[in-house]
């Protein structure tokens, strides 16, 4: 980073997307003399890197655009956040990894728990706190309505939470978790679920990291044993958590896909640059068809997720068509990282030691889960077949 930039965020009176993009692009060019890189060796270091970047963005105002003024933002809509990720990646700057969850949980808090959002979202945007979401359980993944983590009411009206969550991104690092739990009868399915905002430092909360094959603590399992949750930590209404989850899912499909598209576009630029200067055995001609296929896969993801983001900006319900975003995301992840694996071989092997190669390999390992996390591909195809294409049921 160099000295204080002369390019500042546009005023709240002028937050057009074109003005925002132009000001941001010039600010990034001056503020970062060299790319701000994340070695990606550990999730823990990546979040520390992200916190430093968030602090810079917040001080200059950039990541406050796209959030309502009532919760510490500077106005605008979800498209301003999309432009931020575009321009960061264009400048070869890794977006803060913890924003993956901020983009999913943050809008739900704004819509269903504005007081909680006003209290905590500014800390998250400053890089001083991390959020996570507790949805999946050991026996409730794709069938989320069958979850068993339960909250009961005590004599004071507060909640007492018991159960387990798994596959929780940043669960071992987070300060707060938004938990979907059962408050209705055991067989109430989606009608008896409630969303709670839980302090991870509360007595009875335990988070254990889950290490992936890439050696990173990508996820965690979280246990709740008689955890007291004050009644003002309710997100939405009691037994109406399914509506909160459905609202949240739109942003998981739209904004997460957009973040990944921006990052994948940058990865493709890096691969193309590598091919341009590599040895004759790894020249562009050898991989040009696959490079083109990967470019098309990322372009398809951008085209589809841009429609989702436009709908979110207009506060329209995205609906089941967002399952297409999820399928295209998995296709793009696999196309880019499978190409990288082959282009960078044999240095890509298990005995890799070069930092940049290790980062590529770690990301390749994680890309394997792209067709599973957030809803398995088979489930997404069924949703599209049944609820979008209205195909005959078997």
Name, in order, each residue with C-beta under 8 angstroms of 288's C-beta and a sequence gap of 6 or more.
Answer: none
Measured between alpha carbons, how far is 171 from 174 in angstroms, rounded to an integer?
Answer: 5
Q: Work out the burial of residue 2: count CB atoms within 10 Å of its CB; fewer than 13 is exposed, 13-18 middle, 19 or more buried.
A: exposed
DSSP, collapsed to helix, strand or coil, labels residue 354 as coil
Length of the chain equals 394
Respond yes or no on whether the N-terminal peptide bond of residue 346 is cis (omega within 30° of 0): yes
CB atoms within 10 A of CB 326: 28
Angle at 267 between CA 262 and CA 273, to 5 degrees: 130
DSSP character at residue 392: P
Measured in degrees and rounded to the nearest 5, phi and psi for residue 292 equal -65, -40
Calpha distance 133→170 (Å, rounded): 9
139 is catalytic: no
Q: Which residues of 64-76 are buried (b: 16+ CB within 10 A; e: fewer)?
A: bbbbbeebbbbeb
| Secondary element (H or E) of residue 3 | none
Helices 17-31 and 43-60: crossing angle in degrees, nearest 10, is: 120
Active-site residue, selected from the candidate residues 31, 87, 103, 252: 252
Q: Across the chain, how many H-helices and E-strands are there?
A: 10, 8
Active site residues: 252
């Amino acid at each position: 980073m160099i000295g204080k930039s002369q390019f500042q965020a546009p005023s709240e009176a002028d937050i057009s997307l074109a003005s925002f993009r132009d000001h941001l692009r010039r600010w990034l060019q001056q503020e970062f003399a060299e790319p701000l890189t994340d070695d990606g060796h550990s999730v823990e270091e990546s979040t520390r890197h992200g916190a430093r970047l968030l602090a810079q963005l917040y001080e200059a105002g950039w990541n406050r655009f796209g959030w309502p003024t009532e919760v510490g933002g500077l106005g605008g809509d979800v498209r301003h956040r999309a432009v931020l990720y575009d321009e960061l990646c264009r400048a070869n700057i890794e977006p803060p990894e913890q924003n993956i969850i901020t983009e999913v949980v943050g809008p739900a808090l704004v819509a269903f728990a504005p007081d909680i959002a006003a209290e905590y979202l500014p800390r998250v945007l400053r890089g001083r706190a991390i959020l996570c979401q507790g949805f999946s359980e050991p026996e409730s993944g794709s069938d989320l309505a069958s979850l068993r983590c339960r909250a009961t009411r005590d004599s004071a009206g507060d909640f007492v939470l018991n159960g387990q969550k798994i596959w929780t991104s940043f669960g071992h690092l987070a300060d707060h978790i938004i938990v979907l739990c059962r408050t209705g009868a055991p067989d109430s399915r989606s009608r008896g679920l409630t969303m709670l905002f839980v302090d991870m430092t509360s007595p009875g909360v335990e988070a254990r990291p889950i290490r992936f094959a890439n050696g990173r603590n990508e996820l965690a399992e979280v246990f709740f044993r008689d955890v007291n949750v004050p009644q003002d930590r309710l997100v939405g209404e009691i037994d109406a958590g399914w509506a909160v989850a459905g609202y949240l899912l739109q942003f998981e499909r739209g904004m997460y896909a957009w973040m990944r598209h921006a990052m994948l576009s940058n990865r493709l630029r890096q691969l193309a640059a590598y091919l341009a200067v590599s040895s004759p055995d790894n020249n562009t001609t050898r991989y040009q068809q696959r490079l083109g296929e990967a470019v098309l896969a990322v372009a398809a993801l951008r085209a589809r997720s841009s429609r989702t983001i436009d709908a979110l900006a207009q506060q329209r319900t995205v609906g089941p068509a967002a399952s297409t975003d999820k399928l295209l995301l998995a296709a793009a992840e696999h196309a880019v990282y499978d190409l990288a694996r082959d282009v960078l071989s044999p240095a890509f092997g298990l005995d890799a030691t070069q930092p940049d190669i290790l980062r590529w390999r770690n990301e390749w390992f994680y890309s394997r889960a792209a067709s599973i996390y957030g809803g398995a591909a088979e489930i997404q195809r069924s949703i599209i077949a049944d609820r979008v294409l209205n195909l005959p049921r078997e």
